[in-house]
Structure 1
Amino acid sequence: MTTSHDAVAGEATIAGETWRDCFGAVMAAVADCFPRRESRLLAREMAQAMLMGLESRNCWTLAEAMGHGSPSRLQHFLSRGVWDHNGVRDRMAAWTAGELADSDAVLIVDETGDEKSSTDAVGAAHQYSGALGGVGLCQVAVHLTYASPRGHALIDRALYLGTDWARDEERRLLTHVPDAIEFSTKPQLAAGMLRRARTLGVEARWLAGDEVYGGRDLRRCARELAFDYAVAVRADHTVATPAGGFTANALARRLPRQAWMRMRTGHGLKGDRHYDWAWIGVLADDAPEPGNRVEDGHSVLVVRRHRFTGELSFYRCHSAIPVTLADLVHVICTRWRVEEDFQLAKGATGLDQGQVTCWNSWMRWSLLSLLAAAVLTVTLARTTPTTGSSDLIPVSARELLTLLRITALPLPNRDTDHALHWSAWRRRHQAVAQACHQRWNNITAAAAT
């Protein structure tokens, strides 16, 4: 026990020093995106506060923890403050990808939804979200994760505006959506982030995504940008072969028994996970125009079969150079890293807790949440375990955050007078809000009669 205690103490010290170095490096990289020293320091404070051990994270709770007398400074900083959040996004993405760089890294696209109580929030509508488990009132945003053997982190995001939202001029004006923002499908938002990543010089080889991102247009975009890909497709997805066109499901049913190979695809708490895999050579249908021929590179359909239920999943893959089935399986399984990044960003840095309603506020809140999570990931990548003892598993991102809250992160303000001030502030604010709601209900009730 003493040996383990000493090892953890050493890791905590190293992690604290590493986090300070990483946080200082990323803030230095984005410094000139803030024209004023005050806004730069406030961004620094807010990113740190995102990682504090708070029950929830919004402008009220962060302002109280940071020692402010009200949330007005943070609200102004997010909604009307003069600073270049797109520049910060690009610098943060380039820095994170540079720290985790690997020539075979995977860019993963996926969307997540944040439940909302009103359609007043920008982009909020009744729409499907996997995070909600169905249709609900939520905001949906497409995210981009950079994943390599060194670690994985979210590096970009784009808010999805449905057709009704994108065409509603009144709601656009109320939430300050820029005129240049038009309706884009989720694959189109993903394509924009891929182009931005390539422009920034992000070193990556692969694109991975679920069935939403398996369409021809996004696959063609990936090839134009010199990305190989492994994206999920539906069972009724049609592929061309030398023998003609078939659905993915029909091709899988024709596979002989010897075509299947059982492979390990991950490790969970209950042990290794294994699936049966097979691949089929198909003709590419997404050659960039003009230029490359359809037959350039290697295009295959990968099929995964559950060992016990026999359930099939399908993946359209393309590589500029020959690859093995094991290579493609690795990329396909890497796609799940984005789910871990969603869990970290939502649970540790408040990605889904902002309670912001306008375009700028959403962009900036999500950006600072991603920045805080990225610094945590890079700190974990840089931290070398001090012991190889078998009675300690490697430190996780959540466990690292627990250590950082002890060694490096500022503590929430717990002064008694400050807490009493905030209790009075909240109650006054809530009293005013209650009176406004009652007045509005009386007006609408009178109008109805």
Structure 2
Amino acid sequence: MATVAGCFTRRETRATAAELVAGLLLEVDTRNCWTLGQALGHPGPHRLQHLLSRARFDHDRAGKEIVRLVAGELAGQDVVLVVDETGDAKSSTECVGAGRQYSGAIGGVGLCQVAVHLAAVSATTKVIIDRALYLPADWAADEERREVAGVPEEVGFATKPQQALSMVTGALATGIEARWFAGDEVYCGRELRRGIRSLGLGYTVGIAATYQVTDGGGRRWEARKLINKVRPEQWMRRQTGHGTKGTREYDWAWLDVRPDDTPDENENENENENENENENENENENENENENAAGAGTSVLVARRHRYTGEVSYFRCWAPGDVALATLMEVISRRWRIEETFQLTKGFTGLDQGQVTCWNSWMRWSLFSLFAAVVLALTAAAIHEGSERQPGLVPPTCPELIRLLRAIVLPPAARDRDHVLRWIAWRRRHQAVATACHQQRHRCHDQP
């Protein structure tokens, strides 16, 4: 909290924020303003609700300060920036950004909120450092809903790849030292890859089996057909990590492909259209430029085959210089760490349990959830370094770490009899008022 102390205008607001971060790590069934208010000993949820919706607090600056803290902890490590989205099921389109859309978290298309998250992943640390709420095009264009939810005027519709590029740019500007970017099929578009290259990063992005690439001879192939050119003896079995059941091993292969995302490619095409003199000389210069562009860095198609099922996954990769297959394998494998981070933040810090409806509330709830996750991630990294000197013990898992924090650091949840009885009465009274209001609203709508 000392890192973000300057983002608050009042001491009381800062103290409430510290209580909320601690409350997110307490042992409670669900995490929202009601349950956390009771666990923290508050007489009602109003203090936490005020913090999320109306308190004077620069949450954008606080997010940048946390990124700087993480950057300092990860300095000198080989960091991969991983992007992915996750969704939370909702019951009404009145929640900011809620609409019928696809989300893997809910297993298909449904009414949900979707947010794009950016994680910094190193060999020992994985932590989400930024997030962006995705506003569907119809939602972003609905002025009435935007006004009710408090969406700022400068926030408009942006695709998920555009949000990802914006977050990566911000993370690098804030101090994160990274060499690689990784994403799934959603983030394989040319515009995003060109932006990543202009930032000086290499990338590994998943692609569909029918995605078309260009081989060295200039011929277009679907990824699944081009990889058939690999002879059986050219597949290499490599270990990609350790699990509870042993090592994970896959068969890997790669082939050179032509890059199609050189940052200045469009500029060169426009210049070529405007220059009509000395056609022969220009054609020679253009050929040399294309050869240099294709030769700048390493552009490959990587395939990963499951050793038992034979299922093949495809990845388009680019690196600024020469790169080994083992390096690309490591970057591809680290992309899955963001899924583990989602499980951590949803299961232990309430990322998807906020029950908030407005822009400010969503931004602040997600931010405090990431605060708590940063506490866990950085503490786990520090303990991991110390556990190397403890033979016979594996590094503590996140559940073990939370048990440790609850036992020696975090305050116990308030559970005395009078406090529980007061909260039961408050909830029943509030629910009775809410029920009466809903019934009255329905009667008004039913009248001609």
TM-score normalized by structure 1? Answer: 0.91
Alignment of 1:12-27 (within 5 A): 27=1
Higher alpha-carbon deviation: 438-447 or 101-110:
438-447
Asked if the contact 1:102/1:148 (under 8 Å) is kept, the reply is: no
Residues 29-63 of structure 1 show CA distances to partners (whole Å, capped at 9, x for unaligned) of 21111111111111111111110111111011111
Match of 1:363 in 2: 363
Matched with 1:353 is: 353
Aligned to 2:418: 417
Q: Which has the higher contact order (CA 8 A, sep 6+)?
A: 1
Which whole-Å CA distance do the structure 2 matches of 1:425 and 1:97 have between them?
Answer: 44
Q: Residue 297 of structure 2 contacts residue 320 of structure 2 at CA under 8 Å; is this kept in 1? A: yes
Distance 2:71 2:422 in 1: 43
Using the aligned pairs only, state the percent identity: 54
Aligned residue number for residue 330 of structure 1 = 330
Task: Show the 5 A alignment for 1:223-302.
Answer: 223-243=197-217, 244-289=219-264, 293-302=293-302
What's the counterpart of residue 171 of structure 2?
Answer: 197
Q: Provide the rounded CA distance (Å) in 1 between the counterparts of 2:111 and 2:208.
A: 26
Residue of structure 1 equivalent to 2:7: 33
- Which residue type is aligned with residue 425 of structure 1? W
Q: CA deviation at 1:103?
A: 4.3
Alignment-derived partner of residue 378 in structure 1: 378
258 and 386 in structure 1: CA distance in 2 versus 1, 3 angstrom threshold: closer
Which of 33, 47, 67 pairs up with 2:41? 67
Distance 1:374 1:397 in 2: 12
Q: Does 1:94 align with 2:94?
A: no
The change in CA–CA distance for 1:48 and 1:173 in structure 2 (over 3 A counts) is: same
Aligned counterparts of 2:81 and 2:376: Cα–Cα separation in 1: 19
Tell me whether 78-87 or 237-246 shows the greater mean CA deviation. 237-246
2: CA distance, partners of 1:86 / 1:318 = 32
- Aligned-partner residue type, residue 77 of structure 1: L
Aligned-pair CA distance for 1:72: 1.2
Letter paired with 1:439 = Q
Q: Secondary structure at the match of 2:293?
A: coil
Is the Cα contact below 8 Å between 2:296 and 2:321 reproduced in 1?
no
**CA offset at residue 386 of structure 1?**
7.7
- In structure 2, the partner of 1:85 is 59
Q: Which moved more, 1:288-297 or 1:274-283?
A: 288-297
Q: Does 1:441 align with 2:442?
A: yes
Which runs of 5 or more structure 2 residues have no equivalent in the other structure?
Answer: 269-291
Q: Which amino acid aligns with 1:182?
A: G
Between the two proteins, the alignment pairs up a number of residues equal to 420
Deviates more, 1:101-110 or 1:166-175: 101-110
| Counterpart residue identity of residue 343, structure 1 | Q
Task: State the SS of the aligned residue for 1:246.
Answer: strand
Partner of 2:390: 388
Indicate conservation of the 8 Å contact 2:387/2:394, yes or no: no
CA distance in 2, matches of 1:157, 1:295: 35
How far has the Cα of 1:389 moved from its partner?
Answer: 4.1
Offset at residue 98 of structure 1 (A): 2.0
Q: Which runs of 5+ in 1 are unaligned?
A: 1-26
Q: 1:139 aligns with which of 107, 113, 134?
A: 113
SS at match of 1:191: helix
Q: Aligned Cα RMSD in Å?
A: 1.5
Deviation at 1:387, TM superposition (A): 6.0
TM-score, scaled relative to structure 2: 0.91
Letter in 2 for 1:346: K
Give the deviation of 1:293 after TM superposition: 3.0
Instruction: For residue 413 of structure 1, report the CA deviation from its aligned partner.
Output: 1.3
Are 1:103 and 1:205, in contact at CA under 8 Å, matched by a contact in 2?
no
